[in-house]
């Protein structure tokens, strides 16, 4: 008499449908691309413009006053007029030059100092207190000092931009250095790598994700301070243009300046993010 086998069924004995849902859940959701990505990005912007139009057209006054705010059509006409003006492009290029110079110097100095403090106990003992003393000082508070120190306003604005962008980069680099697993360095030294080789092939690549997080924050802080400095002591630049428009009661020009600042900030932040993706392409999430 033949008895039924009590051996549990293996994976191969199960129907194919049993494993199908698991495979589907493990698969990553596809990212929107092309036209779909553009539409998804345009939906909140279109909604914002629509709300802006409704509030200004109805001259709504409820906690906030929209009766004196220019509408989207008026701002668009002012933007078109500025796009045909050479002075507008001069202001844009001046702000870009200042932000790229100050941010570039801050990136180099902040990463170098962060590596030194993160890797050397002597440097950490000497320099970390100095960083923590100057870090809480708002960069915009240095405008009077910059006016006294530097012979031209251009140099003073670049200095303020550098000061604002330096500390996020330096502190993020220090934390990235300290967060690296020690086993990485020990494994490299076991295989015969020297200090310079460990730094360039293990420490820096491993710390780059944290460093670029600081660079991204630094870019936003730098834009805030460069625009504020241009409003206070500048003679040209997009911040100076925005403040001058307010002084002339050209509120549509003020909105054009704000939109221009947002577009410039988004563009430079995208460049930093793009560079970070290329350098950190070894990360699994970045590779996907």
**Token pair in block for residue 178:** 């300290």
DSSP letter, residue 201: I
214 is written with which tokens?
């600081």
Residue among 101, 88, 97, 51 at smallest CA distance from 259: 88
What is the 3 state secondary structure string of 22-59? HHHHHCCCCCCCCHHHHHHHHHHHHHHHHHHHHHHHCC
Dump pLDDT digits (tens) for 191-221: 877 778 878 888 888 889 899 999 999 999 9
The correct CATH number of 65-287 out of 1.10.40.30, 1.10.3720.10, 3.40.50.10140, 3.40.50.40 is 1.10.3720.10
Domain map (residue ranges) of the chain: 65-287
The pLDDT tens digits for 38-88 are: 788 888 889 999 999 898 988 888 888 888 899 999 999 999 999 998 899
Residues 163-188 have a mean pLDDT of 88
User: What pLDDT, on a 0 to 100 scale, did the predictor assign at position 29?
Assistant: 54
The count of other CB atoms within 10 Å of the CB of residue 264 is 18
Return the biggest CA–CA distance within the chain. Answer: 106
Query: Of the ranges 10-14, 177-181, 212-216, 232-236, which is most confident?
Result: 212-216
Computed over every residue of the chain, the mean pLDDT equals: 84
Confidence class for position 183, pLDDT limits 50, 70, 90: confident
| Residue 136: both structure tokens together | 């809480």
């Amino acid at each position: 008499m033949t008895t039924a086998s009590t051996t549990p069924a293996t994976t191969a004995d199960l129907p194919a449908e049993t494993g199908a849902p698991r495979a589907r859940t493990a698969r990553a959701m596809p990212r929107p691309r092309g036209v779909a990505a553009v539409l998804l990005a345009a939906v909140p912007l279109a909604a914002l413009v629509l709300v802006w139009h409704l509030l200004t057209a109805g001259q709504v006054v409820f906690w906030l006053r929209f009766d004196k705010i220019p509408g989207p059509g008026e701002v668009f006409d002012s933007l078109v007029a500025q796009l045909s003006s050479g002075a507008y492009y001069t202001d844009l290029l001046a702000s870009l030059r200042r932000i790229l110079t100050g941010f570039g110097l801050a990136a180099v100095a902040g990463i170098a100092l962060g590596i030194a403090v993160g890797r050397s106990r002597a440097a950490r003992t000497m320099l970390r207190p100095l960083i923590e003393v100057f870090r809480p000082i708002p960069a915009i508070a240095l405008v009077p000092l910059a006016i006294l120190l530097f012979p031209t306003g251009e140099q003073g604005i670049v200095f303020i931009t550098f000061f604002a962008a330096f500390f996020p980069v330096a502190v993020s680099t220090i934390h990235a250095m300290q967060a690296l697993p020690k086993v990485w360095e020990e494994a490299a030294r076991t295989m015969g790598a020297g200090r310079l080789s460990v730094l360039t092939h293990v420490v820096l690549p491993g710390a780059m994700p944290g460093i670029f997080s600081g660079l991204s924050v630094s870019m936003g802080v730098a834009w805030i301070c460069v625009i504020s400095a241009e409003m206070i002591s500048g003679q040209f630049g997009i911040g100076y243009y925005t403040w001058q428009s307010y002084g002339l009661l050209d509120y549509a020009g003020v909105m054009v300046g704000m939109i221009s600042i947002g577009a410039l900030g988004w563009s430079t932040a995208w460049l930093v993010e793009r560079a970070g993706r290329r350098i950190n392409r070894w990360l699994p999430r970045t590779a996907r």
